[in-house]
Amino acid sequence: MTHRTHSFHFVFLMSIVALLPLLLFPTGTQAASKLKVVTATTDMAALAEEVGGDRIDIESIARGYQDPHFVEAKPSFLLKLRKADLLIVVGLQLEIGWLPPLITQSGNPRIQVGAQGYLDASQFAEILEIPTGVVTRAMGDVHPLGNPHYWLDPENGRRIARGIQQKLAEMRPEDTAYFEQRFQSFNQRLSTAEKTWEGEMKPFRGRKVVTYHRSWPNFAKRYDLDVVGYIEPRPGIPPSPSHTLELIELMRREHVKVIMVEPYFDLKTPNSIGSQTGAQVVVMLPSVGGEKEVTDYFKLFDYDVALLTKAFAAAQ
Ligand SMILES: [Zn+2]
């Protein structure tokens, strides 16, 4: 009996809590409130912010210095997802290890897979390394549907921003012109920045590099870099001694002088490979927020291009 009374009180209390927002914020103001956008990663947040401006509230779940394949789920993520109007994911199973249960547990019907407020940005981008034939995660490969690090080509950034702009306009038709104008401004600034990045990278066309993870195929294609090997034997599989030995031989043969490493990997193996091959280890940022000063999509490329061109120039 006591138990029941408690449950009743609890349920009653929860109903009051659920009603509070309605009591505090009458429905009239709700329409004018900002669209609550949650993104899986900081890069999607940066692009959404470019087009959404002050008409959206934006939050990313993963931090820019974290490996987006392996994010530790926190209860605070659920709170964000519960309130979201729109969830933008990278897709291609990048977030499969941590996001799907959070979406389900959020109990928010607006952002469930297939709902209007669920947007998979991979549909807008050029996707590389799409496997042919049947691929499963049984081998541990974390890229079974193609390479999910596609935002690292500014052209894909442009396409994603356009896709987000259209989704925002669909959800907030009264702000269509605003989102369009924001996209046009982003597009112009991106075109200007692309010319700078291309100019800076041009002298190093065809340069051979090794990367830790397969994070850079879109970047490498855009700037004509030749990725000849990876420290990981397969995406998501830690380096093994035999693979490392083969890689060192390959790098000596091909005269590879630069190793690109994502900030969330241990530098022990890269440094050891570097000292045995004379290659420089460069910690490149795959995401906005990887370092404090990298606060938007433009600064991400500014940072990486500056670092990489410096390393290439030193290797000449
Ligand atoms: Zn990956």
pLDDT digits (tens, 9 = 90+) for 215-239: 999 999 999 999 999 999 999 999 9
CATH number of the domain encompassing residue 258: 3.40.50.1980
Residue 15, domain member (yes or no)? no
The rounded Å distance from CA 60 to ligand 1 centre is 18
The rounded Å distance from CA 124 to ligand 1 centre is 18
Residue 110, domain member (yes or no)? yes
Same domain assignment for residues 205 and 186: no
* CA-wise closest residue to 134 among 148, 143, 144: 144
The rounded Å distance from CA 235 to ligand 1 centre is 6
Place of tokens 């990048």: 94
Domain carrying residue 297: 198-315
The rounded Å distance from CA 90 to ligand 1 centre is 11
The answer to whether the pTM exceeds 0.85 is: yes
The rounded Å distance from CA 43 to ligand 1 centre is 14
Domains identified in the chain, total number: 2
Same domain assignment for residues 206 and 306: yes
Q: Using one digit for the tens of pLDDT, what is the confidence trace for 239-287? A: 999 999 999 999 999 999 999 999 999 999 999 999 999 999 999 999 9
pLDDT of residue 232: 97
* Sheet containing 118-120, strands listed edge to edge, beginning at the edge strand earlier in sequence: 56-60, 35-39, 86-89, 118-120
The rounded Å distance from CA 92 to ligand 1 centre is 10
Interval 119-147 mean pLDDT: 86
The rounded Å distance from CA 249 to ligand 1 centre is 25
Burial of 282-307, coded b for 16+ CB within 10 Å and e otherwise, reads bbbbbbbbbbeebebbbbbbbbbbee
The rounded Å distance from CA 289 to ligand 1 centre is 17
Alpha carbons within 13 A on the beta-carbon side of 211: 21
Q: Using one digit for the tens of pLDDT, what is the confidence trace for 21-69? A: 444 444 444 456 899 999 999 999 999 999 999 999 999 999 999 999 9
Amino acid at 264: Y
Same domain assignment for residues 215 and 183: no
Task: Please identify, among 195, 216, 251, the residue that sits at the C-terminal boundary of a domain.
Answer: 195
- 258 φ/ψ angles, rounded to the nearest 5 degrees: -135, 130
Same domain assignment for residues 206 and 293: yes
The rounded Å distance from CA 105 to ligand 1 centre is 25
Q: How confident is the model at residue 73 (pLDDT cuts 50, 70, 90)?
A: confident
The rounded Å distance from CA 176 to ligand 1 centre is 34
The rounded Å distance from CA 224 to ligand 1 centre is 20
Task: Please identify, among 133, 167, 195, the residue that sits at the C-terminal boundary of a domain.
Answer: 195
| Dist CA 72 CA 109 (whole Å) | 23
Residue 143, domain member (yes or no)? yes
Residue 76, domain member (yes or no)? yes
Same domain assignment for residues 102 and 119: yes
Same domain assignment for residues 135 and 234: no
Same domain assignment for residues 50 and 170: yes
pLDDT of residue 103: 97
Same domain assignment for residues 72 and 44: yes
Same domain assignment for residues 119 and 190: yes
The rounded Å distance from CA 23 to ligand 1 centre is 45
Q: How confident is the model at residue 136 (pLDDT cuts 50, 70, 90)?
A: low
Task: Please identify, among 195, 223, 241, the residue that sits at the C-terminal boundary of a domain.
Answer: 195
Q: Which residue has the higher pLDDT, 6 or 209?
A: 209
Residue 77, domain member (yes or no)? yes
pLDDT of residue 15: 52
Residue 26, domain member (yes or no)? no
The rounded Å distance from CA 161 to ligand 1 centre is 21
| Dist CA 110 CA 95 (whole Å) | 19
Same domain assignment for residues 228 and 250: yes
Which tokens sit at 107? 């109990």
Q: How far is CA 289 from CA 40, 50, 293, in A?
A: 13, 15, 7
* Sheet containing 258-261, strands listed edge to edge, beginning at the edge strand earlier in sequence: 226-230, 208-211, 258-261, 280-283
Interval 101-118 mean pLDDT: 97
* CA-wise closest residue to 197 among 260, 149, 155, 227: 155
**Pairing between β-strand 86-89 and β-strand 208-211 as defined by DSSP bridges:** unpaired
Same domain assignment for residues 260 and 184: no
Same domain assignment for residues 62 and 154: yes
The rounded Å distance from CA 40 to ligand 1 centre is 14
Q: Using one digit for the tens of pLDDT, what is the confidence trace for 154-209? A: 999 999 999 999 999 999 999 999 999 999 999 999 999 999 999 999 999 999 99
Residue 13, domain member (yes or no)? no
The rounded Å distance from CA 58 to ligand 1 centre is 24
